[in-house]
Amino acid sequence: MQKAAIERNNETIAAQLTPVGRETVQDRVYSELRRALIGGLFEPNQVLTIRGLADALVTSTMPVREALGRLITEKALEARPNRSVRVPPITLERIDDLLRARSLIEGEAIALAATRMNPRQIASIEAMLGEWDEMRALKHKKDIDREATLNQSFHFEIYRCCGSAVLIPMIESLWLQSGPCIRVAIYAFSDAGEVDTAHYHRSIVAALAKQDAQAAREALVADISRPFAFLRDKLQSAKD
């Protein structure tokens, strides 16, 4: 029988090749806009136009309008009555609202993860801690983008261990919504002097290593509260 032989041959070929996938243009546009939003590349209140983004991304309007629609349903962008779309503005209420939701859901996710992470996964997280120190060592040039990316990887690496296919997309949605706010806070941070993010991350890792769900939750809440509290004070004083 040749059948089994052919099958085997195909499998060996498949093992050699890296899947190229079949990502649509729309998906790429969507991912790119997500990245920009989480990274805070767009400012609150900034209005986005379909044709403008299409030009910037070198595609037609079709994939962009679809991506924008998706981001609007996630509340990452806001559809105004004029039918224009903008990055949602920052308000005090919104900041508190986002922080509460993030504490609740990300707290639950990390509590679940604490009881489920295996030593290998913990080691992986710990390694990221080292990477952080390394970056900090050569801090002649503080690279905010790299910091943000590393921070994101650290958190989601943990969340992925919670084993919930429902919670994780909600957390992504929350990051998407708080991205523009956070970036504002981070910039303010840099000006106001360094704050040791690594310290907070270390206490998170310590709690996870001990499988202490409650401690992990508290350490996480402390970590994510920081930029929000900072931003809150900044807005509060700006109002006076």
Partner DNA sequence: TCAAAGCAAGTGTGATCACAAATCAAAATC
Partner DNA sequence: GATTTTGATTTGTGATCACACTTGCTTTGA
Using rule CB under 8 A, residue 177 touches a copy of itself: yes
Say how far apart CA 211 and CA 214 lie, in whole Å: 9
Residue 53, Cβ density class (10 Å: 0-12 exposed, 13-18 middle, ≥19 buried)? buried
Q: Which is nearer to a copy of itself, 101 or 129 (CB)?
A: 101
Within 65-94, which residues bind DNA (CB under 7 A)?
65-66, 79, 82-85
Within 3-22, which residues bind DNA (CB under 7 A)?
3, 22
Q: Which is nearer to a copy of itself, 94 or 226 (CB)?
A: 94
Say how far apart CA 5 and CA 231 lie, in whole Å: 64
Q: Write out the E strands in the chain.
A: 47-48, 78-79, 85-86
Residues 6+ apart with CB under 8 A from 77: 37, 48, 68, 71, 85, 86, 87, 88
Say how far apart CA 137 and CA 43 lie, in whole Å: 30
What are the Cα distances from residue 128, in Å, to 61, 107, 186, 189? 39, 20, 20, 22
- Of DNA, a copy of itself, none, which one does residue 84 interact with (CB within 5 to 8 Å by kind)? DNA
∠ Cα 200 144 97 (to 5°): 60
From 41, 59, 188, 209, residue interacting with DNA (rule: CB under 7 A): 59
Q: Which is nearer to DNA, 16 or 82 (CB)?
A: 82
Q: Which is nearer to a copy of itself, 151 or 178 (CB)?
A: 178
Options 66-74, 121-129, 186-194, 218-226: segment touching a copy of itself (CB under 8 A): 66-74
Q: Which is nearer to a copy of itself, 32 or 66 (CB)?
A: 66
Say how far apart CA 83 and CA 156 lie, in whole Å: 34
The site for DNA (CB under 7 A) is made up of: 3, 22, 24-27, 48-52, 59-63, 65-66, 79, 82-85
Residues at the interface with a copy of itself (CB under 8 A):
22, 26, 65-66, 69-70, 72-75, 81, 93-94, 97-98, 100-101, 104-105, 108, 164-167, 169-170, 173-174, 177
